[in-house]
Amino acid sequence: MGSVYRLTLRQLSGRWRLVIMTLLAALPVITATLTLRSTTAPTVAEFENAALSALLAGSIVPLVVLAIAAAAFSNEVEDRTLANLTLSPLPRWRIAVPKLLGVLTIAMPFAAVSAFGTAYVAFLADLRAAIAVTVAAVAAVALYGSAFTWLGLVTTQAIGVGLLYVVLWEGFFSGLVAGVRLLSIRHYAIALMHGVDPRRFAAGDHLSLPAALVVSAVVFAGFLWLSIRRLRRMDVP
Amino acid sequence: MTDSQAVIRVNGVSRWFGSVVAVSEMTFDVMPGITGLLGPNGAGKTTLLRMMTGLAATSTGTVTVFGEPVRDNPPLYRRIGVMSEHETVYGFMKGREFVTMMGQLRGVERLEEAVDRAIERVDLADAQHRPMGTYSRGMRQRMRLAATLVHEPEILILDEPLNGADPRQRVHFQHLLRELAGEGRTIVLSSHILEEVEQLAETVLLVVNGKLAASGGFRAIRAALDQRPYHVRVVCDAPRRLAALAVGIGSVEAVNLDPDGALIILSRRVLDLQLELPRLAQSAGISLRRVEPLDDSLESVFGYLVEG
């Protein structure tokens, strides 16, 4: 399992990929800093909507994870190197799990540091709020990671399909139709944030913390299971 | 060798993609030794090999290896080594790292020794610490073969393994394959180059348009083609007289005279010609200096089948 994990880390840690991710991760921190320096300081609700919901949860985290997770398998499919892994006697979960772990290892530090930095700056060193935002970001990385890793196995257009999901489903439809939020990773993450620090993030129509935890676990495990199943059944090029 | 000793058994296998039939109703057994899968590009060889390795599902039929279904059966890969036709490698990885990783994935014990042995076998010890992105095509192929051999598989399935090899590498590769077969392994190799298969394979599976056109030893395949014209070049001291006699043999279709005075006889049954021609020549007092088959090569057999 360690071989697949190490291979995945090397595949996904190309210099340009890391540079772009660093820039993306820095963006919400910079935005938060500039917002605080403006003459009209935002309310928590305004900040949450602008910097956390829209920028961090709505675009930065999913985009960072999409760029990494979609490549984990789809690059191997395109390069036709996936057979090196599937022609081994490893059970398929021992290929899917380290691939996903590799994705999380690369993506999580960027998302976590970005989330913590943004919240710490914005909430004037309120540690609990910063931790709540970080937990939400980490959960979002895990959920998007699991989903997009599977997506990379089922389509060579994983980036495009992932973008459609993030922009249309999570960004557009979930704002229009309340029921869509129940099928939105972004809203599970926001629900976790509210659950961890209800003092700071109390308002809204979010899921309860237990419900968010259960749904997140189901989504994470579900997409991982789909990846394993796909590895067993797909025609490997 | 009996059917029960078949290492790989392909039974009624077909595969189609939409309305395109890539492989149609193939049934054959593979025994220990070298088996050549021969056919033109697009004949269905790679699809067949992918089904034989479990990389692709069959639309109908079954493939078993050592009596077990090969599809969705990872433990079987401890006993199988597969080298696909695609030459893509992890360019950032050094050759030795690649072979080591493949050994780790296959649970090889005494890994370092196994890696040394595999790399030495393909004669790439000098280049093992270079990134594979810097390798020539032939070197990539050889290092991929080392990775295929690192777990000492009982079965080797090699898709177009000699692609990109220069003549020296080709000879080395052929020697290595014979050596591996001599160790009792079962080797299936595909090629569209007839010479390669003819030189290496004891058994040939001829694939044309997704169908198994012929199988068996090279000469057995030729014998199965007894409805095809068979060219024989005859050099003698009285070609015109012998030509007149040869047209009387029932299976002879045509007799032509070469510009250099040799006869080119087309026969549908080579056995008739072998028996009758010396007898006729002797009875007419004609001295036969040379009798040689012109198309007793796999290339001609292949050509007949493909053109037919």
pLDDT of residue B170: 86
pLDDT of residue A38: 72
CA A104 – CA A144 distance, rounded (Å): 10
The pLDDT of A59-69, averaged and rounded, is: 91
CA B247 – CA A227 distance, rounded (Å): 70
Lookup result for tokens 């040939």: B204
Is a pLDDT exceeding 50 seen at residue B1?
no
> Looking at the domain covering B227-307, what would its CATH class be?
alpha beta
CA A95 – CA B39 distance, rounded (Å): 34
Closest partner residue to B74 (CB to CB) among A79, A88, A233 is A88
Which of residues A203 and B75 earns the better pLDDT score? Answer: B75
State the residue range of the domain holding A193: 2-232
The pLDDT of A101-123, averaged and rounded, is: 92
Closest partner residue to B86 (CB to CB) among A10, A80, A90 is A80
The mean-pLDDT minimum among A3-12, A79-88, A197-206, B34-43 falls in A197-206
CA B102 – CA B81 distance, rounded (Å): 10
CA distance readout (Å), A211 to A19, A208, A215: 36, 5, 6
One-letter identity of residue B161: P
Is a pLDDT exceeding 80 seen at residue B244?
yes
Nearest to B58 by CA among B14, B25, B94: B14
Contact B194/B38 with Cβ under 8 angstroms?
Answer: yes
Contact B189/B201 with Cβ under 8 angstroms?
Answer: yes
Closest partner residue to B104 (CB to CB) among A3, A83, A236 is A3
Number of domains in chain A: 1
Is a pLDDT exceeding 60 seen at residue A216?
yes
CA distance B233 to chain A (A): 47
pLDDT of residue B155: 98
Average pLDDT, chain A: 88
pLDDT of residue B5: 77
CA A116 – CA A181 distance, rounded (Å): 24
Which of residues A47 and B96 earns the better pLDDT score? Answer: B96
The pLDDT of A11-31, averaged and rounded, is: 90
Torsion of CA B204, B209, B213, B219, to 10 degrees: -40
Confirm whether A52 is domain-assigned.
Answer: yes
**A233 and B93 in contact by Cβ < 8 A?**
no
Is a pLDDT exceeding 50 seen at residue A164?
yes
CA A137 – CA B190 distance, rounded (Å): 51
Nearest CA in chain B to A95: B105
B250 close contact with A: CB closer than 8 A: no
CA B186 – CA B6 distance, rounded (Å): 10
B137 close contact with A: CB closer than 8 A: no
Which of residues B198 and B185 earns the better pLDDT score? Answer: B185
Is a pLDDT exceeding 80 seen at residue A206?
no
B57 close contact with A: CB closer than 8 A: yes
Beta-ladder partners of B186: B33, B155
pLDDT digits (tens, 9 = 90+) for B186-236: 999 998 877 788 888 989 999 988 999 888 887 777 666 666 677 889 999
Could you tell me the fold of the domain covering B3-223? Rossmann fold (3.40.50)
pLDDT of residue B114: 98
B201 phi and psi, to 5 degrees? -90, 135
pLDDT digits (tens, 9 = 90+) for B268-277: 877 788 888 9
pLDDT band of residue A222 (cuts 50, 70, 90) is very high
CA A152 – CA A75 distance, rounded (Å): 8
The pLDDT of A176-203, averaged and rounded, is: 81
pLDDT digits (tens, 9 = 90+) for B16-65: 999 999 999 999 999 999 999 988 888 899 999 999 999 999 999 999 99
Confirm whether A237 is domain-assigned.
Answer: no
pLDDT of residue A70: 94
pLDDT of residue A51: 66
A93-122 vs A15-37: helix axis angle to the nearest 10? 30
**A3 and B93 in contact by Cβ < 8 A?**
no
One-letter identity of residue A31: T
Residue ranges per structural domain of chain B: 3-223, 227-307
Q: Give percent above pLDDT 90 in chain B.
A: 62
Is a pLDDT exceeding 80 seen at residue A183?
yes
The pLDDT of A102-106, averaged and rounded, is: 97
pLDDT of residue A68: 94
Is a pLDDT exceeding 70 seen at residue B138?
yes
CA A229 – CA B76 distance, rounded (Å): 19
Average pLDDT, chain B: 89
pLDDT of residue B229: 73
pLDDT band of residue B304 (cuts 50, 70, 90) is low
pLDDT digits (tens, 9 = 90+) for B57-109: 999 999 999 999 999 999 999 999 999 988 788 989 999 999 999 999 999 99
Give chain A's contact residues with B (Cβ, < 8 Å).
2-4, 7, 10-11, 79-81, 83-92, 232-233, 235-237
**A10 and B86 in contact by Cβ < 8 A?**
no
Is a pLDDT exceeding 60 seen at residue A57?
yes
CA A194 – CA A208 distance, rounded (Å): 8
Task: Report how many Cβ contacts below 8 Å link chain A to chain B.
Answer: 60
pLDDT of residue A83: 95
The pLDDT of B145-170, averaged and rounded, is: 91
Is a pLDDT exceeding 90 seen at residue B3?
no
**A4 and B105 in contact by Cβ < 8 A?**
yes
Closest partner residue to A85 (CB to CB) among B76, B78, B105 is B105
Contact A135/A38 with Cβ under 8 angstroms?
Answer: no
